[in-house]
Structure 1
Amino acid sequence: MTTTSLPKAPRSRLGRAYGEELARRPSTDHPTAAARESVTLALAYQDRFLNGPAFLSEPERRTVVEDLHTVYGLLRSLPERVFGGSLTALASAVGMDPLQSALITRSARTGSLLPLGRADLYHDGTEFKLLEFNITSALGGFENADINRAMLAYPPLEEFVRRHALRYQDTLGSMVRTMYAECAAVLPTDRAPVVAVVDTVDNFAVVGPRLRVFAAKLADYGVEGIACDLGEFTYPNGRPTVSGRAVDVVFRYFLPEDLTDPASAALLEPLLVAVERGRVGLFSRLDAELYGNKGTLAMLSDERHRDLFDAAELACVDRLLPWTRYVRPRTTDRAGSPVDTLSHALAHQHELILKPTLLHGGKGIVAGWTADAAQWEREVASAMDGPFVLQRRVRPASEPFPDGAGDSQELFLNWGVYLGARGADDDGYAGGFVRGSTDPAVGVVSMAGGATVGCVFHGGDH
């Protein structure tokens, strides 16, 4: 939808000001030219870039980052608050099989685990709502700052950013700082650490080119990077080695869903032994996956657990998290009353989305408003008592973006906000990016669903 005027009161006053600036001072340059010419960005996103950035005001940024730290802490506390301290019980509750559970709980006995994740959020016109919180090292987003830098090659944006003292956070730099903090006990002090960016054999055959870019970029942060699959490791003296180089840290890109394969689990075994013996660091620990799934968000949302949280924690959950429940014969509605799940789901089909607890990348998600009634009933019925949740639909408010041709268009954004470990002079905000769609009824605003990607600048006082 193309318009010739901007809405009167969009979420972002900076976005409105930037649109007005472009209308007053049109440019013959194209805003995404540098991004499209970047080999690194082309590998990740082809030429699917928004014609302008998203803007996050400083108050918004501070609020959402603090809320995400609160949610992260609540998720980490679930074993103690809900399961008597048992990680195994939590793993079972979120749908992990015995093999996954054994590997993950074993990893939890080594080293430390610091905040690292990407929150996927919609803004409903009033506040941000958390759809998913991916707590893992396999986050993507290491090119985020490259998008910012490429967009700043467009003179009108560079001038606007400079005039308003806006800035961006380098996501990869934040990841590296978190890795240094989490793996400090095994990192060398007399040389650059050797970090292997690792996926399973099957996955690496697909994502290997992008992970090689990731590994090469680590040199900008004083790290010697290698990209490889689990099968490329040898273990002389019990230490993982690849291409003759002993590894200090394994930057993990494989996920719990990859560990159901016995062959992958067998290749993982000597690596876990090396981690347990202090021969190498694992970043992030496998048990991060216990907390970064949709099932744990349902536990925070569940009416039965409200007495486990204090008033400030409940306020954060209520503000940030839409109604989310496991697909069980009986659940609670938003008023706290018990309801039959299937009947409730059928009656509210167009306001609910069905999600598997452990899969990533939008796999297995069914949006009720995109399915016919018979399909929706089948999907919910087959998910009953399984590793699935129902979540209340969040309707993202539209935001105006330049269309690259002198006008503006209304887009619906999925915000990816990254969280890292807090530092002495930062609050753990690790940057962000947005995916934009012109379709307000799309099931998930994602690259797979046809979205285009943009960078985020933050700052200002409104």
Structure 2
Amino acid sequence: MTTTSLPQPPRSRLGHTYREQLARYAPGGHPTAAARESAALTLAYQDRFLSGPAFLSEAERSTVVDDLHTAYGLLRSLPERVFGGSITALAAAVGLDPLQSALITRSARTGALLPLGRADLYHDGTGFRLLEFNITSALGGFENADINRAMLAYPPLEEFVRRHGLRYRDTLGCMVRTMYAECASVLPTDRPPVVAVVDTAENFAVVGPRLRVFAAKLADHGVEGIACDLGELRYPGGRPTVSGRAVDIVFRYFLAEDLTDPATAALLEPLLVAAERGRVGLFSRLDAELYGNKGTLAMLSDERHRDLFDAAELACIDRLLPWTRYVRPRTTDPGGAPVGTLSYALAHRQELILKPTLLHGGNGITAGWEVDPAEWERKVASAVDGPFVLQHRVRPAAEPFPDHAGGERELFLNWGLYVGVRDADGDGDGYGYGADEYDYGDGYGGGFVRASPDAAAGVVGMGTGASVGCVFHGGDR
């Protein structure tokens, strides 16, 4: 929908002010021109760039980052709080098969696991609501800061960002900083580390060009990067090499869902042995995805577990999480009353979404409002006692964006906000124009947005035709 005037959105004062500024500028230039000229950005996003950025006030940013770190800590504590300390029991509960569980349990015994994740959130007009928390090294988004830099080539935005003291975080810098902290014991002291960015052969055939860009960009952060598939690794003397080059750290891009194939598990075996013997760092550990699994969000949301959390933790859960439950014969409704899951799902089809716990990228998701009652009943009934969750629908608030004709259009945003390891000494401040590339005091790792004009879209993502935009934050200090 294109209009000439829309009311100020309830969330973004900065966005409203930016559009007012644009109205005073004579037409000229194009805000996405530099992004479209970037080979790396067009490889990742084709020509699907928003004509303006999304804005986060400093207060919003600080609040949601604190909540995400709290949620991460709660997810990491689930083995102790719910399963008597057993990672194997958590793996079984979220639906991993015995092969996946065995590999993940082994990995959990090697090295550290520090916070790194991308939260996918909607803003419902009152606050951010967490749809999924992707906790892994295979997050994408390493080009986020490139979108910011490309958008700053547009003079009206550059002036606005500078005048309001806005800034952005380099997501790749956050990833590298977390990698250094997690793999500190294997880092060389006399040269830059050699990091292999590794996926399975099947995945690499599709994403290899983008991973090569990723590996090349690591040089900007003092890292020698090599992109390859798992089968290209060799282990002379028990240490992985690629084309004869010894590797210090394997930056893992394959996921737990890729480990059901015995052939892939066999290729992984010598890498796990090398990590267990301290010959290489594995970033991140295989068990990371246990905590980012959609099923673990259901455990936080579950009424039966509320007595495991203190008042501050419950306040964070209630503020951040929509109602999310495993698909079991019985459950509790949002008020805590026991109900039959299928009957509740049928009565509230328009407000529920069915998600598999083990897949990513929107795969396998069924939005109740997008299917007829008969199909919804079949889907939910077949999911009972399987690796699926039901989640209450979050309705994103509309945010007006400039359109290409000088007007505005309403878009609905899926926010991808990144968190990494916090700065132990807390000295990160770094206010000012441009990038805070080395300011990670609270662990914020930047972000991007995916936008759709469809308020009823079950999934707002690149796979469903969304456009992508960058995020600037600040402006209220």
Letter paired with 1:116? L
| 1:447 Cα deviation after fit | 1.0
For each residue in 1:312-339, what CA deviation from the matched residue of structure 2 results, as whole angstroms up to 9, or x when unmatched?
A: 0000000000000000000000111110
CA distance in 1, matches of 2:472, 2:6: 20
* Equivalent position of 1:457 in the other structure: 472
* Equivalent position of 1:445 in the other structure: 460
* Equivalent position of 2:359 in the other structure: 359
| 1:230 Cα deviation after fit | 0.5
* Equivalent position of 1:316 in the other structure: 316
Contact 1:6 1:16 (C-alpha < 8 Å) held by counterparts: no
* Equivalent position of 1:124 in the other structure: 124
Q: After TM superposition, which residue ranges in structure 1, 4 or more long, deviate above 4 angstroms?
A: none
Structure 2: stretches of 5+ with no match in the other structure = 429-440
CA distance in 2, matches of 1:27, 1:276: 60
Contact 1:354 1:390 (C-alpha < 8 Å) held by counterparts: yes
* Equivalent position of 1:270 in the other structure: 270
CA distance in 2, matches of 1:301, 1:431: 26
For each residue in 1:109-159, what CA deviation from the matched residue of structure 2 results, as whole angstroms up to 9, or x when unmatched?
A: 010000000000000000000000000000000000000000000000000
CA distance in 2, matches of 1:323, 1:10: 23
Q: Pick the aligned partner of 2:442 from 403, 417, 427.
A: 427
In the TM superposition, 1:18-97 aligns within 5 A as 18-97=18-97
CA distance in 2, matches of 1:178, 1:314: 28
* Equivalent position of 1:142 in the other structure: 142
For each residue in 1:229-274, what CA deviation from the matched residue of structure 2 results, as whole angstroms up to 9, or x when unmatched?
A: 0100110010000011000000000001100011110000000000
* Equivalent position of 2:298 in the other structure: 298
| 1:404 Cα deviation after fit | 1.9
| 1:67 Cα deviation after fit | 0.1
* Equivalent position of 1:162 in the other structure: 162
CA RMSD after TM alignment: 0.7
Aligned length, in residue pairs: 462
Secondary structure of the residue aligned to 1:448 is helix
| 1:10 Cα deviation after fit | 3.4
Contact 1:416 1:432 (C-alpha < 8 Å) held by counterparts: yes
TM-score for both structures, normalised by structure 2: 0.96
Letter paired with 1:260? T
| 1:287 Cα deviation after fit | 0.6
CA distance in 2, matches of 1:184, 1:437: 41
Is 1:260 aligned to 2:275, yes or no? no
CA distance in 2, matches of 1:371, 1:239: 51
For each residue in 1:370-392, what CA deviation from the matched residue of structure 2 results, as whole angstroms up to 9, or x when unmatched?
A: 01111111100110000000000
Contact 2:32 2:50 (C-alpha < 8 Å) held by counterparts: yes
Contact 1:27 1:156 (C-alpha < 8 Å) held by counterparts: no
For each residue in 1:337-389, what CA deviation from the matched residue of structure 2 results, as whole angstroms up to 9, or x when unmatched?
A: 11000000000000000000010111100000001111111100110000000
CA distance in 1, matches of 2:165, 2:83: 47
CA distance in 2, matches of 1:279, 1:405: 57
Contact 1:10 1:400 (C-alpha < 8 Å) held by counterparts: no
Contact 2:412 2:455 (C-alpha < 8 Å) held by counterparts: yes
Letter paired with 2:40? T
- More displaced, 129-138 or 1-10? 1-10
| 1:161 Cα deviation after fit | 0.2
* Equivalent position of 1:105 in the other structure: 105
Secondary structure of the residue aligned to 1:100 is helix
Contact 2:170 2:446 (C-alpha < 8 Å) held by counterparts: yes
Q: What percent identity do the matched residue pairs reach?
A: 83
CA distance in 2, matches of 1:24, 1:3: 17
Secondary structure of the residue aligned to 1:146 is helix
| 1:461 Cα deviation after fit | 1.4
